[in-house]
Amino acid sequence: MITLHGTPRSRALRVSWLLEELNVEWRFRFINFAKGDNRSKDFLALNPSGKMPVIEDGDLVLTESAAILRYLAEKYGKGQFLPEPGTAQSAKHEEWVSFVICELEQALWSMGKHRFALPEEQRLTTMLPVATFEFDRAAKIAESWVPESDYLLGEQFTVADVLLTQTLMWATAFKQTIPVKLGAYLARVQTRPALVAVLEKTEAIAKAAQ
């Protein structure tokens, strides 16, 4: 059984969502940041950075959400969730993955770090408008790329869709402006039954653990 360590609406949502889509056996271990669970000896043994998500699959311990998603899709996806390697579709898929993580997400993480994640003495309120500027710039590019089709690669739902949708949900939670086409894309994809189900499941576990 796969164990996922994280919180419901963090980057761990990317992993829990794909696990639900894959219909594999998995369990959720809630990491309570408020109580310092991420600094516990056991958790730091899994990820010395104290960050999530982390998965355990047998003897394998894996961190970094994009790496986890690729591993799960390759091992359990049965040819779904990733385009065929070496194709133009695969190249565009990797372009989206890289863009979401390096451009779109990094602005949101800057906001998060300077709002709550960094020690108070390291937070700079002047970083927040800079991060908003960076997010808006990246969102404008994503808006020009996002297709009219259901998903980023047409009718195939992929790892890139998981990454982009969760990142846009994060942006919404941070009260960022989502351009029109991206907003329509988000509205379509976040209705997937697996996402709805996994949010209910993980939030119930987190609530019971608090």
Q: Which of 13, 11, 15 is nearest to 2 (CA)?
A: 15
- Does residue 39 surpass a pLDDT of 90? no
Q: Give the pLDDT score at 5.
A: 95
Q: Which of 47, 41, 40 is nearest to 11 (CA)?
A: 47
**pLDDT mean over 127-133:** 96
Q: Which two tokens stand for residue 167?
A: 């990142």
CATH of domain 88-192: 1.20.1050.10
Q: Name, in order, each residue with C-beta under 8 angstroms of 186's C-beta and a sequence gap of 6 or more.
A: 165, 168, 169, 172, 178
Domain ranges of the chain: 2-80+194-209, 88-192
Beta bridge mates, 4:
28, 55
CATH superfamily label, 2-80+194-209: Glutaredoxin (3.40.30.10)
**pTM, rounded to two decimals:** 0.95
- Does residue 210 surpass a pLDDT of 80? no
Work out the mean pLDDT of the chain and round it to a whole number.
Answer: 95
Q: Name, in order, each residue with C-beta under 8 angstroms of 173's C-beta and a sequence gap of 6 or more.
A: 9
Q: Give the pLDDT score at 208.
A: 87
